[in-house]
Amino acid sequence: MTDSTPDIAVLRRGVHGMPMAEYEAALRERLPEYDIRRAETPEEERELLASATVATGSTVEPSVLDRAGNLRLFACSYAGYGHLPTEAFEDHGVSVTTASGVHAPNIAEHVLGFLLTFCRRHHEGWRRQQRREWRAYPTHELAGSTVTVVGLGALGGGVVERLAGFDVDTIGIRHSPEKGGPTDEVLGTDDLHDALARTDHLVLAVPLTDETEGMIGAAEFDTLPPDAFVVNVARGPVIDTDALVSAVRSNSIGGAGLDVTDPEPLPEDHPLWGFENVLITPHNAGHTPEYYERLADIVAENLRRVEETGEYEGLRNQVL
């Protein structure tokens, strides 16, 4: 380590198994005048945090902040921030931003993959291919259906944007419907059942909160048409898992596409693995080779704003 004070400390833990060296390179490309250093060991991480003005990574231990006298901004590399020691950041006067929005294009494509697979029944075609069975099967069209998207943040908005060319009707559900949104119709959470009754495909893209935990349970599955498909790219606990298993077993819904589950990882003996109309990916929708590029864009934009204003306030994705 050199003796000079770094501007930006890049911490060790990466995202989706991608090396932080790639993130460091993306930051250097956008902020060539900044002294950017990446920690490779716990000791280097502590040393950098003790002197850097900006740190970026997954999280920091609250005790480390006691020595981080220069730290003004922590740029979290995750979209969520529930895992962060927010009280410690507040106590030390450190602003916090997130990576919200970096997932939108890839997760939206993941959702479209689920929807098209269900409609065109690619999963059935794959099974017949494995059996070398040349036998046609009935399919459906996505066009003309109603897609309800619960959550109209970056993820939900990305899904709606990519549905634009598929000739579907869209309903958006959000906590504050007066804010409007990109869907044909926007309803509040109190009107969820009204939307579900008209839904062919339900997409869950909300953060996990006290309000959204278990929001799709037995009553909601009863309201959905029996041929409706449910796609969850939010968090596993947004769906009551036992109610989901019951709904699939009783043919109360057409099927489910799950990138997230509760519990997670899903145990090997869990019944969800055995349903032919349940598609499961291992919390993989967020993976994209563009992750660090988009995250570096956010950090660079925020630091340019700090240069203009001299304040660590009013930043993009700022949560503290």
pLDDT in tens, 36-75: 999 999 999 999 999 999 999 999 999 999 999 999 999 9
What was the pLDDT predicted at 16? 87
What was the pLDDT predicted at 82? 86
Mean pLDDT over 172-178 rounds to: 97
Mean pLDDT over 150-156 rounds to: 96
pLDDT digits (tens, 9 = 90+) for 259-304: 999 999 999 999 999 999 999 999 999 999 999 999 999 999 999 9
Residue type, 135: R
Residue type, 133: E
pLDDT digits (tens, 9 = 90+) for 77-113: 998 898 999 999 999 999 999 999 999 999 999 999 9
Q: Which residues belong to the active site?
A: 235, 264, 283
Cα–Cα–Cα angle for 280, 284, 167, nearest 5°?
Answer: 75
Residue 1 predicted with pLDDT over 50: no
Count how many Cα atoms sit within 13 Å of the Cα of residue 124 in the half-sphere of its side chain.
Answer: 14
Average pLDDT, the chain: 96
What was the pLDDT predicted at 3? 54
What was the pLDDT predicted at 96? 98
Report the percentage of the chain scoring pLDDT > 70: 99
| 256: nearest Cα among 234, 270, 276, 237 | 276
Mean pLDDT over 194-210 rounds to: 96
What was the pLDDT predicted at 2? 46
Mean pLDDT over 169-196 rounds to: 97
pLDDT digits (tens, 9 = 90+) for 113-148: 999 999 999 999 999 999 999 999 999 999 999 999
Locate 147 and state its tokens. 């897609």
CB atoms within 10 A of CB 7: 17
